[in-house]
Amino acid sequence: MTDGKRRRGLMAASALLGGVLVLSGCSGGDDNGSGDGGNGDSQSQVDEAAAKKSSEAQIKITPKDGSTNASINKAATVTVAKGTLTEVKLTTADGTPVEGEISADKKSWKPSVQLERATTYKLSVTAEDSEGRAAHENASFTTVSPANSFIGTFTPDDGSTVGVGMPVSINFDKAITNKAAVQKGITVTSTSGQEVACHWFNANRMDCRPEKYWQEGSTVTLKLALDGVEGAEGVYGVQQKTVTFKIGRNQVSYVDAKTKQMKVTQDGKTIRTIPISAGSPENKTYEGQMVISEKFKETRMNGATVGFTDDDGEGEYDIKDVPHAMRLSTSGTFIHGNYWGAKSIFGNVNTSHGCVGLQDVKGANDPNTPGAWFYNNSLIGDVVVVQNTGDKTIAPDNGLNGWNMSWEQWKAGSAL
């Protein structure tokens, strides 16, 4: 072997040996517990010790941090597993506190009040595990805006007592395009066991009623489970509410424009007959079954508001203190006391602009007049059936007057 070949061979052997030495150095460090491997074990022990000191309590906040369009009913709920809640703070973005309550078992928390729409809230939660170690969680969310939510205004009021003709009527503040979804979120039941069906008059109104008038003495329950229901594209319900109302005695009154008398019946028996004055031949009163929707001891009636104007555009009448007025239609049909007409017209002549008038006195302070008696003995939801006027039957959606539709027609308006 030449010197050149010897040198190249020695260099190669040396390089190979160096590689072996390097490899031996790595493996030797593992064996001896030194070097990088030793540091790894030490760090693992530190991590393990730190983990042992951390709380086992697991906090869950709904909705998730950063959520938008959050529910005003179901938002801001807190639960904990493997621990108990010790402190929960809910505030608006400006720091205003919101009342809430931790459950008796300290496993959950929720607000004591309904949240506001279009508001940003912040939640700060502390919990402890069985060894008293604290865990913390924070979240911020924004509730659904009015533009992206809908609300249904309903009648009758919770806890009220109403007449047998009172439907459940719900008016939505946004047009509902997904009617089936919304209707599924609304249930109306009665202790009478009567079947109840709902009817959509338009995109904003749905009424519910049984086939016949409600059974007297029964209790009706309306449940709104609309939270999160998409009523139209990008528009969600926010209501979670249960409403109950009671049906009073069965009172139905029959106005006969031909005889100019009104028979007031309870349970089908006439308890009083009252002389009336209905709409004149030029201004006939609607016919049909009408439900009293509002009561006013005194109110103003101006002809201009219902289309009765003179040549100067002024109302043909403007009476600022009409006594004992009860609304029968949205368009302005009332049954009310009349103090300006001669007593002789009642029971003899139809003189009104379409309302049904009963003899009364100015000031509405005499309880002995026919107008006062009928007012004091009537409930919102009582039925007034108007007959023999010669006019058309009132539209079912003009007031709470869906009883003028057959049961088949009524059910045909359901979205389900």
* SS3 of 323-337: EEEEECCCCCCEEEE
d(CA 277, CA 258): 10
User: Do 123 and 163 belong together in one domain?
Assistant: no
For 131, the enclosing helix (H) or strand (E) is: none
Residue 258 sits in a domain whose CATH number is 2.40.440.10
Q: Do both 241 and 265 map to the same domain?
A: no
Alpha-carbon distance 405 to 294, whole Å?
22
Do residue 293 and residue 378 come from a single domain? Answer: yes
Residue 410's alpha-carbon distances to 53, 196, 197, in angstroms, are 67, 10, 8
On whether the CB atoms of residues 231 and 187 are closer than 8 A, the answer is no
The CATH number of residue 222's host domain is: 2.60.40.3710
On whether both 89 and 124 belong to a single domain, the answer is yes
Q: What is the pLDDT of residue 69?
A: 85
Residues 6+ positions from 214 with CB-CB distance below 8 Å: 164, 165, 166, 190, 192, 194, 220, 247
Q: Are both 158 and 77 inside the same structural domain?
A: no
Residues 205-228 as b or e (16 or more Cβ within 10 Å = b):
bbbbbbeebbbbebebebebbbbb
Pick the closest to residue 402 from 289, 286, 248 (CA basis).
289
Do 256 and 396 fall into the same domain?
yes
* Domain membership flag for residue 106: yes
**Integer Cα distance of 402 and 196 in angstroms:** 13
Question: Do the domain assignments include residue 376?
Answer: yes
Mean pLDDT calculated for residue range 195-219: 98
Q: Which of 218, 213, 269 is nearest to 248 (CA)?
A: 218
Long-range CB contacts for residues 178-182, cutoff 8 Å, separation at least 24 = 178/229, 178/230, 178/231, 178/232, 179/203, 179/206, 179/415, 180/415, 180/416, 181/229, 181/230, 181/231, 182/206, 182/226, 182/229, 182/231, 182/237, 182/415
Closest by Cα among 149, 147, 109, 100 to 127: 109
Instruction: Indicate the number of domains in the chain.
Output: 3
**pLDDT for res 38:** 47
pLDDT band of 16, cuts 50, 70, 90: very low
Of the given ranges (2-11, 96-105, 107-116), which has the lowest mean pLDDT? 2-11
Q: 19 falls in which pLDDT band (50, 70, 90)?
A: very low
Identify the domain boundary among 144, 174, 200: 144
Same domain, 283 and 240: no
Question: Domain range spanning residue 194?
Answer: 148-248
Is residue 271 in some structural domain?
yes
User: Residue 4 falls within a domain, yes or no?
Assistant: no
Residue 87's CATH number: 2.60.40.3780
User: pLDDT confidence of 303, banded at 50, 70, 90?
Assistant: low
- Residue 75: what pLDDT? 74
For residue 29, pLDDT over 60 is answered with no
pLDDT tens digits, 149-174: 999 999 999 999 999 999 999 999 99
Q: Is residue 333 part of a domain?
A: yes
Same structural domain, 113 and 178: no
pLDDT of residue 325: 96
What is the DSSP secondary structure assignment for residue 79, as one 8-state letter?
A: E
Residue 307 pLDDT > 80: no
Residue pair 328/290 in contact by the 8 Å Cβ criterion: yes
pLDDT for res 330: 95
Is 103 found in the same domain as 174?
A: no
Listed residues 190, 217, 248: the one ending a domain: 248
Question: Of 192, 215, 248, which one is at a domain's C-terminal end?
Answer: 248
Q: In this structure, are 262 and 391 located in the same domain? A: yes
Higher pLDDT, 324 or 34: 324
Query: In Å, what is the CA distance from 310 to each residue of 46, 285, 341?
Result: 94, 20, 20
Instruction: Just list the catalytic residues.
Output: 336, 355
Kindly state whether residue 29 falls inside one of the protein's structural domains. Answer: no
Q: What is the mean pLDDT of the chain?
A: 88
What is the enclosing helix (H) or strand (E) of 192?
none
Strands 84-92 and 97-98 turn out to be antiparallel
In a domain, 37, yes or no: no
Whether residue 390 sits in one domain with residue 260: yes
∠228-230-234 over CA atoms, to 5°?
105
49 pLDDT more than 70: no
Identify whether 73 is part of a domain.
yes
- Distance separating alpha carbons of residues 138 and 95, to the nearest angstrom: 14
- Is 117 in the same domain as 208? no
In the predicted model, what is the mean pLDDT of residues 374-385?
98
Q: pTM of the entire structure?
A: 0.77
pLDDT above 70: residue 192? yes
Residue 25 has pLDDT above 80, yes or no: no
